[in-house]
Amino acid sequence: MPGGSAGPPRPWQNAASMQQFTWKGRLGPLELDLSENTFAPSTISTLLAETMEVTAEDTVIDVGSGSGILAILAAKLGAKHVYATDVAADAALVGRANAERHGVADRVEFFSGNLFEPLPPDLRADLIIGDVSGVPDSLAAESGWFPSRTGGGASGSELPMRMLRSALAHLRAGGRLLLPTGSIQDEPAVLAAARSLFTNVRQLAERIIPLPSALAEGEAVRKLLAAGVINLVQKGSRWVWTARTWECAAPS
């Protein structure tokens, strides 16, 4: 059966908190376990998966791994080894269980910790998936999208820019970083940082995403729009934002 069976409850879960998620993106369907601390795969995850290119000899780092889905896909696409990190306390347990379910645990290692901090300092990758939270803290708190209720800083650009600055130390010469951005963050600041650090930044894809009406009419969005931090467009009765993925090439 695609994705494997649900199996028994995992050690970090109880009957009340246990969740199942069906990934329907690239290489899906895949069944995933989620704990109450796990960020569930999103439209951004789907967009990153669609644009991710991996070769058989690649070493990959997945920063902000959540359920582990992108790390698992990188392994299934042929990566030699994948290192995945996430700040959630049980991220390593959740990711490892999902990797075991889908037969790639021998090539994927999961670590709980902030950005690259849990990784060996001399580790160098061919590809980094930089999928960290990139929405403003006020929007994260009001939306409920993130179990921690925290985002990527006041403008949603602070955490992604910190990730970009740290990433070069873990990329091989000529390596690539896969970066998501969106118009519900200070996107120009993130891209300016990327272009100052990497030799080439090229857009891979974009997708228009509706913003839930209750959120679009909320105080957080109103203040962020007034401050010019985010950019929404009205389509009929809905407000929408644009998600984009970029490939950032490290100096050779």
How many whole angstroms separate alpha carbon 48 and alpha carbon 163? Answer: 17
173 Cβ neighbours under 8 A, 6+ residues apart: 250, 251, 252
Look over the chain and give the mean of its residue pLDDT values, rounded to a whole number: 92
Any idea where the domains of the chain sit in the sequence? 21-209+243-249
Overall pTM surpassing 0.95 (yes/no): no
Name the nearest CA neighbour of 19 among 10, 104, 27.
Answer: 10
Mean pLDDT of the region 170-189? 97
| β-pair type (59-63, 81-86) | parallel
The top-level CATH class assigned to 21-209+243-249 is alpha beta
User: Does residue 129 register a pLDDT over 80?
Assistant: yes
| Contact present, 149 and 40 (Cβ < 8 Å) | no
User: Does residue 45 register a pLDDT over 60?
Assistant: yes
Percent of the residues in the chain that have a pLDDT greater than 90, as a whole number: 87
Q: pLDDT tens digits, residue range 131-170?
A: 999 999 999 999 988 888 889 999 999 999 999 999 999 9
Q: pLDDT tens digits, residue range 96-124?
A: 999 999 999 999 999 999 999 999 999 99
pLDDT-based confidence at 7, cuts 50/70/90? Answer: very low
63-to-33, 86, 116, 227, 238 alpha-carbon distances in Å: 19, 6, 7, 29, 32
Mean pLDDT of the region 232-239? 92
